[in-house]
Structure formats: C-alpha cells, structure tokens
DNA sequence: TCTTAGTCCGACCTATTTGATCGGAGATCA
DNA sequence: TGATCTCCGATCAAATAGGTCGGACTAAGA
C-alpha cells in the first residue's frame, strides 16, 4: 500500500541521472537523451519518453530538439523537490479521495465522516516530508533525511 | 498519488465508530454490527462486511456471532495504530516495489538503481508516522499529530 | 427446539488505473 | 536535404480495486 507508480520511479531515476551527469565531474553540462537513460536503467524507451515529456511540460527539465538533443535540468538540483517531481507525474498528492474536493462534490461519507481531519493531518506531514527533500539529497549515495514524529502527546495546536 | 484504498478508508471509519461507541458515554461496551456502520456512513454493506472480517482475522477486532452479535475492539484504542490498521487491509506498506524483495527476486533496475536508498528512508519516515498514531488519536475530533522533517542539512548519520 | 438475525467465507464480476506500445509530426544540425 | 532527435496523441493489455452474490455456520430468544 501507499505505493508510488512505476512512472514516478522512472522519473526519479531519470532526474537523478541527469543531475549527476550535469553536475558531475566527468562531462559536466552534457545533454542527456532518452535512449541513454533507458538503456542504463532497463526502462522501456517509449514509456520513459512519455515520462520525460511530462516532466518537461511541468518545468522540471528543459528539452532540446534535434540531433545531439536531450534534456537538462531546468533548475538547480536543490530547487527541485521530490514532491514536485511526484506531483508532476501523478498529479496532486492526496491520501484520501476527499483531499481536494471542489465546490459541490464530496464523498458519500462526508456528512458523518469521522476520519477526514486526522487523515488530512497525516497527509500534510507526508507532503512536508517530500517537500523538504530535494533532488540534491538523492545525489551522492547516502541520503541525509530524517524525521521526528512525536506521538500525539500535547503537541502543536 | 499515494492514495490509500477505499477499503482502508472504510476500515478506519468503522474502527473509529466502534471505538467511539465502546468507550463513549452513551452506551459504553455495546456491540456494533455491520449494518449499523454501513448505514451510518453510506458504505456498501457487503464490502464493509469483508473489511471487518479481515480486521477480525488480523486481530484488530473480536467478532461475536448470532443475533445481537457484532464487533468489539480487541484491544484498547491506544494499542491499535493506524499503521496496523492499514497493513491489515492493504498488506505491508511499501513506497517502492523493491521494498520487500525476497531472495533472488529484484527489479529490473536494481543493478544500477540510484534511488533505492533514499526512497527507503522516506518510507521509514512515513511508517514511523503512521505507527506513532493510534486509534485513540482519531477520537475526539481534532488530531494532535505533528511532524518535523529537517531538510537534509547535516542531520543523522 | 426451532426460527431468525447475525457473522463468516469464498467465488465472482466489472470498472478504473497503470504499464506499455505505436505512428506520425515537428525541430534541429551536419 | 536527410538523419536524428524530441514531441504528442491515440491505443491496448494487464493488473488491481471496488463492489456483488450465494451459501454455510452460530447463537440468542420465542
């Protein structure tokens, strides 16, 4: 449960790769094309292409057409958060269906729903976590993220 | 994205309801049956029945057969965590496919996978969050949970 | 003791989502 | 101008989730 999709997985891998090439020591600034990434990580080419297109459309990467074309990060690796990447691919993050209800639409249970508020809290926490982590944090092997979640004992509010 | 299933939603609602009846002021200790919950929250009866059966099988609630039968919490509301409930319904929690790979099986990308480690970290954080929250925290309206996720700046390790 | 209301359990169907594929149009550079 | 890219939409198949059905078993109450 709570799984993220393969597409999102691919997006993360691809961005990590692009970032590491772009800011790496070997060939800094080099443009990376779809095929290279697909072969490196055994990702179906066409699917990866779609993922990269989506990322480009959402301003995560810049695309360059024609031969010797490919992709570059649109911003620095610190300016791209994991939350942004995931939302680019999978749409707005939401634990529950009722997270982003507009206008008149609401779930069948809304009226007597007893879990909406606490779940929205959980959702916020997860969102904050994903927003606090950037592409930069995924470079260089070991990640540095940590979290403290005090049990509900008279905290905040 | 990262949505939890309707079944899990129903499970949370049902447990919250059972807990609030059982420990409430009106009719403490009363047994609650499937129909009552289904009607209260507009949940399809048969589906809810399945959910409750699963919860019973996993030791979250005790079932009582026959007329005047129904369900009771198997433990105190503080002893049941959100993580336990969700896992009862949806199986082990895992952000990525490769979270619980056994033996020889591994994803196509494993070999060069560059995002496994950081994602597992994220997963741990979420799991801790869900484990720190109990059914008790969902009673009484406003939840008290909070979270602190320091950006990756020289933390832990 | 018999009936009835309830749980229990498993098989089943359907709709939605996801993963993956195909084909052509437009851009760029040698 | 042709080869090599990205771009974009349409499409398909498989997996999963949501929801349904029917029957067996159990226990309380008349």
The 10s digit of each residue's pLDDT in B95-106 is 887 777 654 556
The second-level CATH assignment, the architecture, of A6-138 is Orthogonal Bundle (1.10)
For range A55-62, the mean pLDDT: 95
A residues 71-110 closer than 8 Å to B (CB)? 82, 86-87, 89-97, 108-109
For range B128-132, the mean pLDDT: 95
> How many beta-carbon pairs under 8 angstroms link A with B?
214
Our CA-based measurement puts residue A21 at a distance from the nearest CA of chain B, in whole angstroms, of 13
CB-to-strand D contacts below 7 angstroms: A 1, 33-35, 46, 49-50, 52-53, 56-57, 63-67, 69-71; B 5-7, 44, 46-47, 50, 65-69, 90
The 10s digit of each residue's pLDDT in A110-129 is 677 888 889 999 999 999 99
- This model of the complex carries an ipTM of 0.84
Of B82, B60, B94, residue with least CA distance to B12? B82
pLDDT at B82 over 60: yes
Q: What are phi and psi of A88, to 5 degrees?
A: -60, -40
- Asked if B115 and A9 come within 8 Å (Cβ–Cβ), the reply is yes
Q: With cut-offs at 50, 70 and 90, classify the pLDDT of residue B15.
A: very high
B residues 19-58 closer than 8 Å to A (CB)? 20, 40-43
From the alpha carbon of B44, which nucleotide's C1' atom is closest? D19
Q: What is d(CA A112, CA A120) in angstroms, rounded to the nearest whole number? A: 16
Q: How far is CA B51 from CA A14, A109, B43, in A?
A: 39, 16, 11
Contact status of B140 with chain A (Cβ, < 8 Å): no
For range B51-74, the mean pLDDT: 93
Number of C-beta neighbours around residue B63 at 10 A: 17
Domain limits of chain A? 6-138
Burial of B72 (0-12, 13-18, 19+ CB in 10 A): middle
Instruction: Name the residue of chain A whose CA is nearest to B154's CA.
Output: A144
Our CA-based measurement puts residue B112 at a distance from the nearest CA of chain A, in whole angstroms, of 6
Contact A107/B40 with Cβ under 8 angstroms? no
Task: Round and report the angstrom distance from CA (A94) to C1' (D7).
Answer: 30
Look-up of token digits 């592409």: A135
pLDDT at B153 over 70: no
**For A140, which DSSP code?**
S
- Asked if B1 and A91 come within 8 Å (Cβ–Cβ), the reply is yes
Of B21, B16, B11, B20, residue with least CA distance to B55? B11
Provide the pLDDT for residue B105. Answer: 55
For chain A, what is the largest distance between any 2 Cα atoms, rounded to a whole number of angstroms?
60
């Amino acid at each position: 449960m709570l799984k993220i999709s393969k597409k999102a997985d691919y997006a993360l891998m691809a961005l990590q790769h692009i970032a590491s090439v772009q800011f790496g020591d070997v060939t800094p600034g080099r443009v990376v094309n779809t095929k290279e990434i697909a072969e490196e990580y055994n990702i179906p080419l066409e699917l990866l292409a779609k993922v990269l297109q989506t990322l480009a459309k959402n301003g995560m990467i810049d695309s360059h057409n024609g031969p010797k074309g490919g992709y570059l990060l649109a911003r620095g690796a610190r300016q791209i958060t994991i939350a942004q990447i995931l939302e680019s691919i999978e749409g707005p993050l939401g634990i529950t269906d009722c997270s982003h209800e507009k206008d008149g639409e609401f779930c069948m249970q809304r009226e007597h729903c007893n879990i909406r508020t606490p779940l929205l809290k959980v959702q916020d926490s997860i969102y904050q976590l994903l927003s606090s982590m950037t592409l930069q944090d995924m470079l260089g092997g070991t990640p540095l993220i940590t979290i403290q979640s005090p049990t509900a004992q008279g905290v905040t509010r």
